[in-house]
């Protein structure tokens, strides 16, 4: 076991039916790192997160989390290990209050005082959600719903959070709010693997970043290196 690797994915191969999508993707997240995963539509970014969390089947490759092999493990078994996954699409329970959404996030946390601490911490990080704890999540703005989805993931006090396109489809003002939230969580020391279309902002925050193309690693480096790379700039940053 290498404890420098919180998450270590090597040579992931996966597909849907017989169509190959991942053709050997390798990704490492070290403790406390903010790692960005960027690349064009269809590159396989979401599939990487699904493969890590057992929602997509890997035909080969290894996934270790905190030194433990987790390949093929079901998502509900990953939660107690401290792996939170926030899928694409700001999925909240619309007919439930903000508070009840957070309760759902904490369903695996049995100890009352741990739950209470998780609530206190999340409401401290997101005062806006504290103000609106009784509001039905479905009636909140898109940006606020994304906050609820992220906050729900935080209720397990994860070691690592996987986020798929947290800013997608939001008005510019809320895109900013989402990136401010990510920056705050990074400052708090949370380890994150974040898939983002918004490459410039995702790279600006990234300790390390991977550019995927056609299901393969194409480039990697620090966020700053990828931001300065002419290929990244031409393909993803509109130069
Ligand atoms: N459930 C599925 N069944 C069949 N094919 C799928 C399924 N999900 C994804 N694919 C295909 O796998 C490929 C990679 O998809 P994936 O969602 O991982 O890409 P992505 O990099 O996240 O793209 P985007 O930026 O558009 O979200 C695409 O060609 C997509 O059509
Ligand atoms: Mg995707």
Q: What is the pLDDT along the chain (239 residues), one digit of tens a residue?
A: 445 899 999 999 999 988 899 999 999 999 999 999 999 999 999 999 999 999 999 999 999 999 999 998 988 899 999 999 999 987 889 999 999 999 998 888 888 899 999 999 999 999 999 999 999 999 998 889 999 999 999 999 999 999 999 999 888 888 998 999 999 999 999 999 999 999 999 999 999 999 999 999 999 999 999 999 988 888 777 66
Q: How far is the CA of 102 from the centre of ligand 2 (A)?
A: 25
Query: Which residue do the tokens 């406390």 mark?
Result: 32
Rounded Cα distance, 117 and 217, in Å: 39
> Which pLDDT tens digit goes with each residue over 53-83?
999 999 999 999 999 999 989 888 999 999 9
Grouping H, G, I as helix, E, B as strand and the rest as coil, residue 121 is helix
Q: How far is the CA of 50 from the centre of ligand 1 (A)?
A: 10
- The pTM is what? 0.94
Do 140 and 98 form a contact (C-beta atoms < 8 A)?
Answer: yes
Residue nearest to ligand 1 atom 30, measured at CA: 42
Q: How far is the CA of 163 from the centre of ligand 2 (A)?
A: 10
The ligand 1 atom at the shortest distance from the C-alpha of residue 212 is: 21
In the chain, domain spans: 7-90+160-236
Which ligand approaches the C-alpha of residue 45 most closely? Answer: 1
Let me know how many helices (H) and strands (E) the chain has, helices first.
10, 10
Residue nearest to ligand 1 atom 7, measured at CA: 16
Query: Which residue do the tokens 């703005």 mark?
Result: 141
Cα distances from 31 to residues 18, 89, 94, 215, 223, in angstroms, run: 35, 27, 34, 25, 16
* Residue 58, both tokens: 């890997």
Which ligand approaches the C-alpha of residue 12 most closely? Answer: 1
Assign domain 7-90+160-236 to its CATH architecture. Answer: 3-Layer(aba) Sandwich (3.40)
Q: How far is the CA of 69 from the centre of ligand 2 (A)?
A: 25
Which ligand approaches the C-alpha of residue 21 most closely? Answer: 1
Closest by alpha carbon to 178, among 162, 161, 203, 198?
198
Which protein residues touch ligand 1 with a CB less than 6 Å away?
16, 21, 39, 41-47
Do 125 and 151 form a contact (C-beta atoms < 8 A)?
Answer: yes
Cα distances from 38 to residues 121, 206, 235, in angstroms, run: 30, 11, 11
Do 62 and 69 form a contact (C-beta atoms < 8 A)?
Answer: yes
């Amino acid at each position: 076991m290498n404890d420098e690797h919180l998450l270590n994915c090597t040579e992931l191969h996966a597909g849907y039916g017989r169509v190959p999508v991942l053709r050997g993707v390798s990704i490492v997240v070290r403790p406390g790192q903010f790692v960005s995963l960027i690349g064009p539509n269809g590159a396989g970014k979401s599939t990487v997160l699904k493969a890590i969390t057992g929602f997509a089947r890997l035909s080969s490759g290894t996934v270790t989390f905190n030194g433990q092999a987790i390949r093929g493990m079901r998502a509900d078994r990953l939660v107690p290990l401290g792996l939170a996954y926030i899928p694409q699409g700001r999925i909240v329970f619309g007919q439930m209050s903000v508070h009840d959404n957070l309760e759902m996030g904490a369903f695996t946390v049995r100890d009352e005082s741990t739950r209470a601490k998780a609530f206190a911490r999340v409401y401290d990080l997101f005062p806006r959600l504290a103000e609106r704890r009784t509001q039905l999540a479905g009636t909140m703005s898109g940006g606020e719903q994304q906050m609820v989805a992220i906050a729900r993931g935080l209720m397990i006090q994860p070691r690592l959070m996987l986020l798929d396109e947290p800013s997608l489809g939001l008005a510019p003002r809320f895109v900013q709010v989402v990136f401010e939230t990510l920056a705050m969580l990074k400052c708090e020391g949370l380890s994150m693997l974040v898939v983002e279309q918004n490459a410039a902002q995702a790279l600006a925050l990234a300790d390390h970043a991977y550019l995927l193309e056609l299901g393969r690693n194409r480039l990697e480096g620090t966020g700053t290196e990828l931001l300065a790379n002419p290929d990244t700039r031409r393909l993803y940053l509109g130069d």
